[in-house]
Chain A
Amino acid sequence: MFANQIGYYSLILGLLFSFLLCTIAIQDFNKVNKKLNANIIILTFLQLTFVIVSFFSLILSFINSDFSNETVFNNSHTTKPLFYKISGTWGNHEGSLLLWLLVLTLFIFLFLLKSNSQPKKYRILTLLFQQIIIIGFFLFVLTTSNPFNYLFPIPKEGLGLNPILQDPALAIHPPILYLGYVGASIIFSASLAAVAQNYISKEWAQHIKKWVLISWIFLSLGIMLGSIWAYYELGWGGFWFWDPVENVSLMPWLSLTALLHCIAVLERRATLTSWVVVLSITTFTLSMCGTFLVRSGLLNSVHTFANDPARGIFILIFLFVLIILSLGVFFIFHKDNNGNQNNFFWLSRETSILINNWFMMYFLSVVLIGTVYPIFLDVISSEKISVGPPFYHKLIAPFLIPFLLFMALGPRLKWIKSKIEKKYSIIIIFIISIILTFFIIKNLTTNILFYTLLLSAAFFLFFTTLKEFLTKKLNNSSQTIAHFGFSLLILSILFNGILSSEVITNMKIGEKFKFGKEEIFFKKIEERRESNFNSIVAFFEIKDLEGNVVELEPEIRVYNQPLMVTSEADIKTTLLEDKFIVMNLVKGNEYFNVRYQSKPFMVWIWISVFLLGLGGTIGLFKTRT
């Protein structure tokens, strides 16, 4: 109860500090002193402290199961394990917005600490733009989604946390993803400030690159965690469904990746400035868009917490204010003063980066259209459609072929101007890739030409980056590792797609079922009790031709708070393949509905995203000479 009050009032104090900060910053802006007013950093720190206090008091209410707090009441229950009580804090609308605020204030504080060598006016403008975003979120939280609403009479018991959200991967998925999303806010504010000060330069690129990398790493890992959760928990046996909610996290990632490469060009050649600014704006806008679509209830999915139009209207207006503000700054202040913009030599590293950026923009548009089109159609003609995976596969896969080739060749080229050299190694690798692919693919699928091209392109990237590891002294290891990770990602996704097999059948205890080279044996079932659910555990044995036995234990869980039945898949992961089994009750019958899948190279998808993140992390710690 007490924590409620503290949390609420520190939020209000945090908001007041925003106004105070803006006033002091504007005063300091026109002063002649070269150094930033030290009070600004102290005030930013205090603001951060207030948000932290507020956040921790909400966590405290969750730990104590204080049901006088409406958020706690709606999303927690006394029988929940402590871990999920705590993760319940950000597993709901109000708490997750508080987390947004926390990361927003944290990042601007860190930015001010780390940007001592930058011009004062630029730092102040960044602070001001960031404070506009922060004020917007404070108002949003306080007016439409206060996490500290008081309930009276105090309910005895909470409504519980949605069982499918009770999962370790999902407990850390939102904070990581938010670090990525909100990291984009700093890039947004900083690039607007840099445009206004006409400071988009090589020095600026070096300084902002770290922030781009940080958000990129967190965004990549955040998306992966969500994907891992979908794979293990939702039990659909896939890792990516082109669900609108997944798409809204993929879009900022694509635009951030393009930005990362533009920054690399800007760092060397002081060009592509418009690209950098527009991509900075796009990335943050898309992150906000994601929040808007998910929070407003425009999209129906596991993430739709609440269906409150007032909230939607607030974010919508706020989003458009930010877009108009940023475009205004861009159109008024931005001078495209680099005459060498169009003077790219056709064979150079920046040209290949530019080409791939256009490809990434294309991928981004496909995802954007696929996500937004159903919403627009629904509004205009009240027709309900959903855009499925075939749309994305058809439009994206063919363009991956040149994309992968440029990705493999680009880093081999020199900046500014490169000569055509007789690099036999590249040609040899290319031929090896094609032959290898042809033999792998020959017996597997009907669409040989397409898959051969796509797989060879992926193999080509794989081998060229691998060769880089073995021969060169790794002067650009972060790029090589990240590109290697990406080739591995594409390869594992492709093989996973082509080689996966599935069977759905009804089985009862003691039955055997032949499936390809394997035999599924349904041994027995057992009942178990946990504090927050009861479960039926089934024991299956999968035997292959050589007599190797793998045991799988899928579960059907009946959660008590709220009452809900979920199927827990059991997955045995090896380096080569995942065996996935999930079962369902068949009403009024001794049979169980069993779905068994063998999914090759599943684990490599996660590993390759880790490699991507690793590449980024190395780039973060490496200082360029």
Chain B
Amino acid sequence: MKKNITILITGVVLSFCFIILYKGLNNPNTYVPKTSIKKDIPIFNAVDFFSRKTVSSDEIFKDNTYYIVNIWASWCVPCRVEHPLLMQLNENHSVKLIGLNYRDSFNNAKKFIDEFGNPYSRILIDKDGTLGVEFGAFGVPETFLIDRNKKIIKKFIGPIDQEAVNKIKLMIK
């Protein structure tokens, strides 16, 4: 009798733990630092991917529109995952995408763009990775949303997902 009760209690406790832990697994647990303080975009000069001309940040962000800066590289596996979403974002006319090609070779990057499509209105070369640092990036991929006042209002670390895209669309409305 005593043994049966022990077994029953153990069983109930175990099932409870299992359910809780199982549910816990499905909770998102990625930590994104809050960028509540709106940061100015850095002032810099960069080389354009296709024309190889040096352009200044004022020139790049001259239009009165929202911008998305996306740091990517052809060797970066998660970048491949988020690429279709960037293509989708590019269909939205109230935003312009700027690609920051991070520590990459021209040929590989070109192949990547040819294969998966080019969502960017402009691609900048960040050969030694300093430009990404100027933006405050931790790694690739990373995505920044810049508003009409040229302030960074949102930052996504790691590949963006559909939820992030929806959030961006909501913010640029």
Q: Give residues in A with beta carbon < 8 Å to B.
A: 70, 73, 151, 153, 155-157, 159, 292, 296-298, 300, 307, 309, 312-313, 316, 320, 323-324, 327, 331, 375-376, 378-380, 562-564
Contact = CB atoms under 8 A, between A and B. Distances in A.
B44 interface: no
Contacts of B26: 309
Contacts of A375: 20-21, 24
B18 interface: yes
Contacts, number: 62
A209 to B, nearest CB: 28
A298 B21 contact: yes
A307 B75 contact: no
A324 B14 contact: yes
Chain A residues touching B, majority SS: helix
B164 interface: no
Nearest to A376: B20
B103 to A, nearest CB: 7
Contacts of B105: 156
Nearest to A293: B21
Nearest to B105: A156
B138 A307 contact: no
B3 interface: yes
B20 A70 contact: no
Contact of B138 (A296, A316, A378, A562): A562
A316 B3 contact: no
A572 B10 CA distance: 51
19 contacts: A153-B75, A155-B75, A156-B75, A159-B139, A297-B25, A297-B29, A313-B22, A316-B25, A320-B18, A323-B14, A324-B14, A327-B10, A375-B20, A375-B24, A379-B23, A379-B24, A562-B138, A563-B132, A563-B133
A378 B24 contact: yes
A316 B75 contact: no
B164 to A, nearest CB: 15
B108 A153 contact: yes
B55 interface: no
Contact of A300 (B25, B29, B74, B108): B29
A151 B14 contact: no
Contacts of A376: 20, 24
A300 B33 CA distance: 14
A323 B25 CA distance: 19
B27 interface: yes
Nearest to B75: A155
A331 B7 contact: yes
Given A331-B3, A563-B129, 8 more contacts: A153-B74, A153-B75, A156-B105, A157-B103, A313-B25, A327-B10, A379-B20, A564-B138
A380 B19 CA distance: 11
What are the 10 closest A-B residue pairs judged by CB atoms, nearest first? Answer: A155-B75, A312-B25, A379-B24, A379-B23, A309-B25, A379-B20, A297-B29, A376-B20, A562-B139, A298-B24
